[in-house]
């Protein structure tokens, strides 16, 4: 009989520990949030890597919807459940801010994009611009300039080179920059204006060959991001603010640069010709 009170005390302490652990786990689950980002297609590779790095150090989870900036903007206007918008330009972010749909204090220019005239045929290495100007191709792929800033930049390049009329019949238009890349990668188009980040990593092209278009031939492709007011209203500030801080940190910035984007102040003139070899 003397041992029974001791047994009860031991069970009681174990129960307290289990209750405390259960409460801690419930608290952790409550603090963990999931957010959804709307991200321009050209930024899919670096964003995927950045999200993986963020989730490895955070209890929060991030989902990403990729698409053309124009289509994503339309979805946001129709109430799509996004917490933040990473556009391929600045105009759409400005529009959302002026409409009261985004937090102006959160706005950042997260990257400056670069355009490349790319071919999957590496035998053209060094001759992409000449092929464009001579018309030595069947089809030229560009992204829809009404929806995709990289498509608008491509049209500016064609105008600067006085090739708008000459290429009109040969142009095939992708809904977004991802589809444009597929046209060229599949061989359905011999040349295409795509985002450098789609075929670039750590200083080299990952496939094919291309002419990196000088910035002087088109308006700068400044890509802005902003936190949407829906995020503030739904109370997801903890997760979104944590991701926002991580995104602007050194690790994420290094990832962005690895894919050929510029961050900060440009320090050098872009190289115009590179190949995968």
Taking the alpha carbons of 46, 181, 156, 145 in that order, is the dihedral positive or negative? negative
pLDDT of residue 235: 58
C-alpha 143, offset from chain centre: 16
Q: Do 103 and 185 meet the contact criterion of CB atoms below 8 Å apart? A: no
Do 113-219+270-275 and 29-111+222-258 have the same topology in CATH? yes
pLDDT of residue 249: 96
What CATH number labels 113-219+270-275? 3.40.190.10
The CATH topology of domain 29-111+222-258 is D-Maltodextrin-Binding Protein; domain 2 (3.40.190)
Q: What is the mean pLDDT of the chain?
A: 86
Strand spans (E) along 91-156: 108-113, 115-119, 140-143
- Nearest Cα neighbor of 103 from 115, 117, 93 is 93
Q: Do 223 and 113 meet the contact criterion of CB atoms below 8 Å apart? A: yes
Separation CA 59–CA 117 (nearest Å): 41
223-266 tens-digit pLDDT: 999 999 876 666 558 899 999 999 999 999 999 999 999 997 43
Q: Do 33 and 238 meet the contact criterion of CB atoms below 8 Å apart? A: yes
pLDDT at 177 over 70: yes
The domain locations on the chain are 29-111+222-258, 113-219+270-275
Q: Is 247 helix (H, G, I), strand (E, B) or coil?
A: helix
Query: Which string of DSSP letters, residue by residue, matches 19-63?
Result: HHHHHHHHHHHHH--EEEEEEEGGGHHHHHHHHHHHHTS-S-EEE
Lowest mean pLDDT among 69-73, 119-123, 149-153, 241-245: 119-123
C-alpha 127, offset from chain centre: 29
90-145 tens-digit pLDDT: 999 999 999 999 999 999 999 999 999 999 988 777 899 999 999 999 999 999 99
The phi and psi torsions of 48 (rounded to 5 degrees) equal -60, -40
């Amino acid at each position: 009989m003397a041992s029974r009170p001791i047994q009860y005390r031991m069970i009681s302490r174990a129960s307290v520990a289990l209750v405390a652990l259960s409460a801690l786990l419930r608290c952790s689950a409550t603090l963990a949030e999931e957010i959804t980002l709307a991200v321009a297609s050209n930024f899919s590779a670096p964003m995927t890597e950045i999200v993986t790095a963020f989730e490895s150090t955070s209890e929060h989870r991030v989902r990403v919807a990729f698409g053309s900036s124009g289509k994503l903007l339309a979805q946001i206007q129709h109430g799509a459940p996004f917490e933040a918008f990473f556009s391929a330009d600045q105009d759409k972010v400005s529009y959302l801010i002026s409409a009261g749909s985004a937090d102006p204090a959160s706005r950042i220019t997260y990257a400056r994009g670069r355009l490349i005239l790319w071919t999957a045929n590496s035998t053209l290495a060094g001759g992409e611009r000449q092929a464009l100007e001579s018309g030595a191709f069947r089809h030229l792929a560009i992204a829809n300039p009404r929806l995709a800033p990289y498509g608008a930049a491509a049209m500016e390049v064609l105008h600067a080179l006085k090739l708008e009329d000459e290429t009109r019949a040969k142009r095939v238009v992708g809904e977004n920059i991802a589809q444009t890349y597929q046209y060229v990668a599949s061989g359905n188009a011999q040349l295409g204006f795509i985002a450098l980040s789609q075929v670039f990593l750590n200083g080299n092209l990952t496939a094919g060959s291309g002419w990196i278009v000088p910035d002087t031939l088109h308006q700068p492709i400044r890509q802005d991001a902003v936190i949407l007011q829906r995020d503030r209203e739904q109370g997801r500030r903890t997760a979104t603010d944590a991701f926002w801080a991580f995104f602007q940190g050194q690790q994420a910035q290094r990832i962005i640069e690895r894919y050929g984007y510029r961050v900060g102040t440009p320090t050098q003139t872009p190289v115009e010709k590179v190949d995968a070899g």
